[in-house]
Amino acid sequence: MFDLLPDLESLRRGRSHKVEKAVEEGKVSQGFTLDLKHRTRPLKGAKGAGDSQPPHNPRTSAAGSGSPLMQEVYRYQRSANPSSQPQPEPPDPESGSEAQPRIYQTQLTSDLTLRCTELDMHGNITVRAGEFQKSELCAQHGLQARDLRKIDSKFVNQMPAILVRKHAILVNLLHIRALIEADRIVLFDSIGTPSNYNQSILIYELQERLRSSSTRTITTDSGIAVDTESTQPFEFRALEAVLISVVSTLQSDEEVLVNLVQNLLAYLEASVDRSKLRELLQYSKRLSRFGQKVLNIRDAIEEVLEQDEDLAGMYLTQKLQASHRETDDHEEVELMMETYLKQVEEIVNHVESVSSHVRTTEDVVNIILDSQRNSLLLLEIRLTILTVALSSGTFLSGLFGMNLINSFESHPNAFIAVSAIALLSIITLTVTGLRSMRKVLRRIN
């Protein structure tokens, strides 16, 4: 039946001999052909049966028609001829033929470009939120395509890193993704919108620090203050400004989080509340994530300090001046990196100390809850002993409550005697059970 699909247009005009032959042979029912005529009647550009038409091309008409049936015909032709050259899908008449190509082109363009803001060595913005092709950035800064992955925000869950290349230093720490050269710094995704508030603050801080560090004030013998150019290379000033921003962000986040945790721990020392325990769980998770983030930054700095080639390669200004530097001659940048490494380690130690307090508080809370649980269990045991004792008296009264003839019905003191025996058995079993429970508790404690 499927080999008759290309002749649907001929069937619509009533001139399909192949379909009629298939009906005569019994391969296709007459109802199917009538239904197929009805479905293919409202085609675009259809003319009368007697009108003259150019030679029919089923592939072209199927691709150009907006009918769902003709689209199915076209897809079947493609699947039946896999060796032929693939043809484009028929356009959707509701969405428009240019909607999908435009969306694809927009996504492709966004994947091949990066937004960045560029500052010169004096802290002036030369390019604000400019879009550049990745290939252009690689050619301009002498980078490989894999290097841009570290500073591309589209790649999530990236580890912090400081990469040293021939003419640039790549920095990926927290919200900062920067490329530092001997005479400029490029900040990526620094658009200045509310969603990138941290990058906007970073640009302002970098401007202030680069301008203040580019000149320094010295006092002469006569007491006159003179502004002189800083002797520290620009790449070190830019890298130090980035590290200062990273450490400041970590310290502010740590201060807020630690204050929240400490206030909650102080409350839990006074009383145990279920809602506060739930908050403690959330703060404990946040503290753990923050501690892992700080540890990753510390590892990134330590990795650079362990490589003498990377430390020596950070002297970008001397590379431009074609000045030779020994591999082990990197005291200036090493001291700077170690200074901020110590600050990051202090944050790590403080976070670990607070995490230890949280774990201690959780242990104490668990001990308190276990004690309360044990108290409930003891109460349940006491009630069980009392129930067993009462059941003994109930059993005795049940024996005498049966409608059987015995010698106690006419005795005047029978009720008093039976009641006394039942009460005595209840008291005896209760006292015996409680004493046994106390002995077990003494052995446990």
Looking at residue 243, its pLDDT comes to: 92
| Residue burial 301-337, b: 16+ Cβ < 10 Å; e: rest | beebbeeeebbbbbbbbebeeeeeeeeeebeebbebb
The predicted model gives 404-424 an average pLDDT of 79
Whether 115 has a pLDDT exceeding 90, the answer reads no
Q: Which residue has the higher pLDDT, 322 or 161?
A: 161
Whether 226 has a pLDDT exceeding 70, the answer reads no
Sequence-separated (6 or more) residues with CB below 8 Å from residue 186 = 116, 117, 118, 119, 141, 178, 179, 180
Q: Which has the closest alpha carbon to 385: 437, 325, 336?
A: 437
Looking at residue 104, its pLDDT comes to: 42
Looking at residue 106, its pLDDT comes to: 46
Looking at residue 442, its pLDDT comes to: 85
Q: How confident is the model at residue 50 (pLDDT cuts 50, 70, 90)?
A: very low
Radius of gyration, CA atoms only, the chain: 43
160 DSSP 8-state letter:
P
The phi and psi torsions of 122 (rounded to 5 degrees) equal -100, 5
Q: Which structure tokens are listed for 14?
A: 């009533």
pLDDT tens column, 51-76: 444 444 444 444 444 455 555 555 55
pLDDT tens column, 3-42: 544 554 554 555 456 666 766 776 666 655 565 555 555 4
Using CA atoms, how far apart are residues 382 and 73, in angstroms rounded to an integer?
A: 82
Whether 176 has a pLDDT exceeding 50, the answer reads yes
Looking at residue 64, its pLDDT comes to: 45
Q: Which residue has the higher pLDDT, 121 or 287?
A: 287
pTM, entire model: 0.62
The predicted model gives 164-170 an average pLDDT of 89
Averaged confidence pLDDT in the chain: 76
